[in-house]
Structure 1
Amino acid sequence: MDGLRALAMLGVLYVHYWNKNPTTEHLRVSLFFVVSGFLITQILMTAKDRGGHINIFNFYVRRMLRLFPALIVLVAFGVVFDMDGFRALAIWPMLQASNIYFAMTQNVTPWVTGHLWSLNVLEQFYLLWPIVILLLPIRRIYVLLLAIIGSMIFLRANANALGIDGWWTFFVINADPIAAGALACLLMRVPAVASVIVSRPALAAAVLALAAPFFLWDGLGGSLSYRVMIQPALAVIVCGAYVGYRGPIGWLLGNKVAEFISKISYAVYIYHLMIWWLVAQWFPALWDTGPMTFAILTAISLLAATLSWYVLEQPISRLKQHFPTAAFGVAKLPKSAFPAAA
């Protein structure tokens, strides 16, 4: 799971710093969403298993302790340097609502917060998801997740007929991959189903679905159909990572470097456009995307995120131990209940 988070983050840097029009347009954000939906549902269901008690207040406090330190750094730099008019609009990222502001104004301003839309969609989902997990029986949660996935896809597919502006479908109506990750987490709790999800045929089908634009046609990667079909494919890969892959894939996704990059990936994501803006003030040539820009700015972003992790985020994150999501009970269903992934 650490490796997948690291890959999603590096995919974002590749697109922003190097190639603005990748063949697999929706892959990186969808992977981030599916991983996040899976992990947060695992946390909440584990808490529910422990006597059926979820401390929702503590859940929100833990999210704030993880999210706000790096975000406050971004806001502070944005206000001090007034990056792209940041000072007048700083309230939107602090409210986790930049995506709504972009949709309302049909403009990604300030530019250095343009990437926050995906985090905002995720946090808006998280705002209600603990309550859903706490109050609904699991059968109804299945139904709700299918309804979320189906309705989001329906609204995007028929946006023109329904009079929904494309800015809203891109920046707001975009929670179906998160729901797909949550659904995958629940399905993994059924061992008979889990054994199919993590099987070699399922993995092979998932890889083929993700690679389809490379052997069919390039335009497929930016289409709604690709955006839909990669959700179950990514869910299969995420479930396999949760159980654990063998061989080179397992080493690639589970080594210490991947683990560390995963730890700092949030700060890398938060800071990377701010870093681009700051560095390019001194070296304007780096406004041009390409391999040199990618190499230099990725290195600076990783260094900044590492410093942020040790000096700011990790010390604050330790406070989470005082705010447990679950107070008592049994452990989660162990991974040993499932066969190892291919």
Structure 2
Amino acid sequence: MATVAPPRATPQAADDRSHISRVPYLPGLDGMRALAVVAVMVYHANSSWLPGGFLGVEMFFVISGYLITLLLIAERERNYTISLGHFWLRRARRLLPALFLMMTLVTVWTALFERNALGQLRGDVVAGFFYVSNWYQIWVGLGYTSAGDFAPLRHLWSLAVEEQFYLFWPIVMVVVLGRRGSRRVADVSRWVFAVSLVITLFVALIFYSGPLGEPNVTPDAYWWIDGRPISKIDTLYLSTPTRLAGILLGAAFAMVWRPFAIARGPLRSKGRLFDLAALIGLAVFGWMCWNIYLVSPSGADPRLFQGGFFIASLATLAVIAAVTHRGAAAGRLLGNPILLWIGTRSYGLYLYHWPIYQMIRKVAGNSLTLREFVFAMILTGIVTELSYRFIEMPIRKGK
């Protein structure tokens, strides 16, 4: 546990601090998670249906950066301390049970029906267990641009990026809040935003725009490390440093946009304005999902790697601003029962949908038919609900 000496405060100031530091349940964020996971699942089923549906992962990243930072600031203000151990334990109780169950089921299925893939699966399972799937896929050349094999755990790369963020970011926040205090954390947001912008510019500068193929066909599409070809596009898409921009944007926003503080400030009566911002943000995000693509035989989409991720993140922030504003209708609209059900189970839906797709189509790059997609969605929903009710929630609640 990291601690700092508490400042002196009057009872009234302490009461105000306790109220402002609260993080209420924000159903609109679950609604956003629902939109994100549906976009990803549609894209994974058949990329021609929603070419940029993978941007749902970017929305997840921004939401995670925002909410985790909001919770850390709130804990620091309430307790004058951030308990790193408790934070990581909460994350473990939230994430590990369903992950371990999914990997166990996938291993059993592969042993029974896809024995030829067991050798590759061993590495995927180990990487998934230690949350380094993104680095493993980069190193062995099995990222999303490699779509010709049975790969039931390939989707774990994004969870690895988030978990690596969960490991280092609380430590950063302990240092920042210990030196500056939560009252000056808004000043830090500028630096966090600047880092996000630098990452975006760096990715744009090193982006490779040529055709993609095997190393002996398109050698310029690879970096060569100790004789091993490392895909440039896979690295930009999968690596933690190059995908931190969206997460850090969410974190920077949390430092200046706190629901209870906004409800007391001069923007409290501007709900309609933020509804308009959410509408614009969703329109921009939807346009990108419809028009942006990840890769094609001629190469990766330059719009994506040369600012596209950043724009998608900014669009997500516009929606977050609205759904966390008490006076805006966006939170109530996105917090409807259907989206709430999907959003509260978005983690499980993301975990289980990809392996189920792979069990149906065998090869990662094959598209599902509409009938197969409907069947996969029904099966994914059933498995997710069972996992949520009987595995995730009991463990999360300590039962």
TM-score range relative to shorter protein: 0.7 to 0.9
Aligned residue-pair number: 315
CA contact 1:26–1:222 (8 Å) conserved in 2: no
SS at match of 1:243: coil
CA distance in 1, matches of 2:248, 2:98: 26
CA distance in 1, matches of 2:395, 2:38: 25
CA distance in 1, matches of 2:150, 2:267: 44
Are 1:55 and 2:83 an aligned pair? Answer: yes
**1:158-197 map, 5 Å:** 158-159=205-206, 165-172=232-239, 173-189=242-258, 191=262
Partner of 1:94: 129
Judging by fraction of residues, say which structure has more strand: 2
- When residues 220 and 208 of structure 1 are mapped into structure 2, their CA distance, relative to the original with a 3 A threshold, is farther
Structure 2 length as normaliser, TM-score?
0.70
- When residues 97 and 290 of structure 1 are mapped into structure 2, their CA distance, relative to the original with a 3 A threshold, is same
Q: Give CA-to-partner distance per residue, 1:206-242, whole Å, 9 cap, x none.
A: 3453355599998787453322222212101012112
Partner of 2:385: 306
CA distance in 2, matches of 1:220, 1:252: 34
Partner of 1:263: 344
Q: Taking CA–CA contacts closer than 8 Å with sequence separation of 6 or more, which of the two structures ends up with the larger relative contact order?
A: 1
- When residues 308 and 292 of structure 1 are mapped into structure 2, their CA distance, relative to the original with a 3 A threshold, is same
CA distance in 1, matches of 2:372, 2:74: 43
CA distance in 2, matches of 1:207, 1:239: 12
- When residues 207 and 318 of structure 1 are mapped into structure 2, their CA distance, relative to the original with a 3 A threshold, is closer
Max Rg structure: 2
Percent identity for Structure 1 against Structure 2: 24
- In structure 1, runs of 5+ residues without a counterpart are 321-342
TM superposition shift of 1:11: 1.0
CA distance in 2, matches of 1:309, 1:211: 29
CA distance in 1, matches of 2:158, 2:266: 30
TM superposition shift of 1:20: 4.8
CA distance in 2, matches of 1:59, 1:73: 22
CA contact 2:189–2:253 (8 Å) conserved in 1: no
Are 1:254 and 2:335 an aligned pair? Answer: yes
- When residues 33 and 214 of structure 1 are mapped into structure 2, their CA distance, relative to the original with a 3 A threshold, is closer
- When residues 203 and 8 of structure 1 are mapped into structure 2, their CA distance, relative to the original with a 3 A threshold, is closer
Judging by fraction of residues, say which structure has more helix: 1
CA distance in 2, matches of 1:9, 1:270: 10
Q: Give CA-to-partner distance per residue, 1:263-285, whole Å, 9 cap, x none.
A: 2211111111222233457xx9x
CA distance in 1, matches of 2:302, 2:253: 25
Letter in structure 1 aligned against 2:201? F
Are 1:114 and 2:154 an aligned pair? Answer: yes
Are 1:105 and 2:140 an aligned pair? Answer: yes
- When residues 244 and 114 of structure 1 are mapped into structure 2, their CA distance, relative to the original with a 3 A threshold, is farther
**1:1-342 map, 5 Å:** 1-20=29-48, 22-25=50-53, 27-80=55-108, 81-82=110-111, 84=117, 85-108=120-143, 111-136=151-176, 137=180, 138-139=185-186, 141-159=188-206, 165-172=232-239, 173-189=242-258, 191=262, 199-213=274-288, 222=304, 224-244=306-326, 249-280=330-361, 288-319=367-398
Structure 1 length as normaliser, TM-score?
0.81
- In structure 2, runs of 5+ residues without a counterpart are 1-28, 144-148, 209-222, 224-230, 294-300
TM superposition shift of 1:168: 1.6
- When residues 114 and 215 of structure 1 are mapped into structure 2, their CA distance, relative to the original with a 3 A threshold, is closer
CA contact 1:252–1:258 (8 Å) conserved in 2: no
Q: Give CA-to-partner distance per residue, 1:240-259, whole Å, 9 cap, x none.
A: 11225755x54541123322
CA contact 1:271–1:305 (8 Å) conserved in 2: yes
SS at match of 1:22: coil
SS at match of 2:163: helix
CA distance in 2, matches of 1:147, 1:180: 9
CA distance in 1, matches of 2:194, 2:155: 27
